[in-house]
Structure 1
Amino acid sequence: MPEKILIIQTAFLGDLVLSTSFFHAVKMEHKESEIHVVVNLGTESVLDNNPDITKIWCLDKKKIKKNPFAFFQFIQKLRMEKFDKVYSPHFSYRTSLISFFTRAKIRIGYKESGFSFLHTKLVPRPKLGPHEVEKLFALLFEPYDFPMGRERRPYLFPTNEEETSFESKKSKLLKNESGYILIAPSSLWETKRMPEEKFVSVITQILRKREETVILIGSKADTSIQNHIFRLMKTEPLELKERERLLSLVGQTSLKELMVWIQNAKAIISNDSSPIHFASAFNTPTVMVYGATIPAFGYGSLSERHRILEVNGLGCRPCGIHGGRVCPEGHFRCMLDQNPVRIFEALEDVMK
């Protein structure tokens, strides 16, 4: 019987994308094994067609919060699989409980995780310093054995269907052959979002000084951000042919379709958010704008050509591992002091 391994990663979308390099490493170390992965319901599509994964289990967090009995039903289904080993990249109390109740003989997690005593092997997870993929690899390797190069970057597998959809939309949207630059102006956390006015300034510079089309990306929840940017753009001193090169795909793509748009982009400018990690998978040149968070948390771009823009010298940064809803200090200087000219120069640098 092949060994059965469970990996529990029910964190945010960006964390799941980064974890695909860990899934690949586990599969390479256990080539004959079945690899099962538990993910948060709604994020699973980014793992479609992943050859490293045998089965995906979707955990509905909203459902189990309302109905604890549903949680135990989910655990019971996992237990019936009789896993030999469990890796817990996510470090919540719930993850440790799931790992423990599988009854797997080997359960590997972080010392800093909730209910860490339920694991059979503990690995330190420093808050600052190593990149997230290195923290993940620590569950599997000694530091001197960490994978390098391509194996550090995420693994995403869009299908021919997404490729065809991309080609069809691109031929209709783009008016020239100069390619396009993506702008991802949103984030789940407000203090990780650069104000729309700053993005407008960057977009204006691109449209006036370069030939590429500029395309906004995001989910349906980001429609208000898109609309604000378009309202502000009306006052910018641009010619009609320049204005026509600003488009939006906000709320118009699935996650798998978005993969292909990022894969084929000339570059992407984004806040500290999941599009960065999509771009890392395809080695897309990246400009990353930091606000409340800092690169030392370990979630920076893994693309070979990338630049980080942050406001240094602020004693209040970071104000939280994920940022927050409002600036605790009331000034939001980490984003209000961002320089759009420097951002544009960084874009030109990564596109050389």
Structure 2
Amino acid sequence: MPEKILIIQTAFLGDLILSTSFFHAVKMEHKDSEVHVLVNLGTESVLSNNPDIALVWCLDKKKIKKNPFAFFQFIQKIRNEKYDKVYAPHFSFRSSLISFFTGAPIRIGYKESGFSFLHTKVIPRPKQGPHEVEKLFSLLFEPYDFPTGRERRPYLFPGIEEETSFSQKKSKLLKNDTGYILIAPSSLWETKRMPEEKFVSVITQILRKRSESVILIGSKADLGIQEHIYRLMKTEPLEIKERERLHSLVGQTNLKELMVWIQNATAIISNDSSPIHFASAFNTPTVMVYGATIPAFGYGSLSDKHKIIEVNGLDCRPCGIHGGRVCPEGHFRCMLDQNPVRIFEALEEVIKT
């Protein structure tokens, strides 16, 4: 019987994408093993076609919060798999409990995780310093053995269906073949979002000074941001032919389709959010805008060509690992002081270098 390994990663979408390099490393280290992964319901599609993973478990957090009995039913199903080893890169109390109740003789997690005493081996996880992929690799390797190069970047595998959808939508959307630059103006956390006015200034510079089209991306929840950007764009001094190069895919792509759009982009400009990690998977040139958070948290771009844009000299940064809903200081200078000209210059640098 092959060794059965479970990896528990029920964090946000961006964390899951970054974890795919860890999934690959586990499979390479245990070539004859069967690797299963436990993720949040709704994020599993980014693991489609992944050859490193034999089975994906989906945890419905809303369901188990409403019905604790459903949680124990879920745990029993996991336990029936009789796993030999569990890795728990997510450090919640729930993840530690799931790991423990699998009954696996080897359970590896972070020292800082909730109920860490339930693991059989714990590894320190510094809050700042190493990139997230290094923190993940520490569960499997000694630092001198960490994978390098391509193996640090995420592994995503869009399928033929997504490739076909991309080709069809692209031919209808874009009138020229000069490439396109993606703009991801949203984030789950408000203090990680650069104001739409700043994005409008960057978009205007691209349309006036470069030949590529500009495409907004985001989920249906971001339609309000899209509408605000379009309203503000009406007052920008642009010619008709320049305005015609601004498009939106907000709310029009699923996660797998989004992969292909990012894969084929000339570059992407994004807040500190999951599109950055999609771009890292495909080595897409990236400009990353930081507000409430900082690069030292370890979630920066892994693309070879990338630039980090942040407002330095603010004692209040970071104001939280994820940012927050409102600026605790009331001034929001980390984003209101962002310089759109500097962002455009960074974009030109990552494209030409």
User: Do Structure 1 and Structure 2 share a fold, with TM-score over 0.5?
Assistant: yes
Letter in structure 2 aligned against 1:282: F
Match of 2:71 in 1: 71
Normalized against structure 2, the TM-score is what? 1.00
Match of 1:88 in 2: 88
CA distance in 2, matches of 1:57, 1:72: 15
Q: 1:1-352, aligned counterparts within 5 Å?
A: 1-352=1-352
Q: Quote the offset at 1:43 in angstroms.
A: 0.1
CA distance in 2, matches of 1:116, 1:169: 48
% identical equivalent positions: 88
Q: Quote the offset at 1:242 in angstroms.
A: 0.2
Q: How many residues align?
A: 352
CA distance in 2, matches of 1:7, 1:266: 34
CA distance in 1, matches of 2:55, 2:273: 27
| Consecutive aligned runs of 4 or more in structure 1 exceeding 3 Å deviation | none
Cα-to-partner distance string for 1:300-340 (whole Å, 9 max, x where unaligned): 00000000000000000000000000000000000000000
CA distance in 2, matches of 1:59, 1:159: 24
CA distance in 2, matches of 1:346, 1:301: 14
| SS in structure 2 of the partner of residue 10 of structure 1 | coil
* Aligned-pair Cα RMSD in Å: 0.3
Cα-to-partner distance string for 1:14-57 (whole Å, 9 max, x where unaligned): 00000000000000000110000000000000000000000000
Structure 1 unaligned residues grouped into runs of 5+: none
Q: Quote the offset at 1:259 in angstroms.
A: 0.1
Structure 2 unaligned residues grouped into runs of 5+: none
Q: Quote the offset at 1:177 in angstroms.
A: 1.1
Letter in structure 1 aligned against 2:116: S
| SS in structure 2 of the partner of residue 161 of structure 1 | helix
| SS in structure 1 of the partner of residue 133 of structure 2 | helix
Cα-to-partner distance string for 1:156-177 (whole Å, 9 max, x where unaligned): 0000110011001101111111
Cα-to-partner distance string for 1:194-237 (whole Å, 9 max, x where unaligned): 00000000000000000000000000000000000000000000
CA distance in 2, matches of 1:346, 1:179: 18
CA distance in 1, matches of 2:121, 2:223: 45
Letter in structure 2 aligned against 1:241: K
| SS in structure 1 of the partner of residue 46 of structure 2 | helix
CA distance in 2, matches of 1:200, 1:82: 54
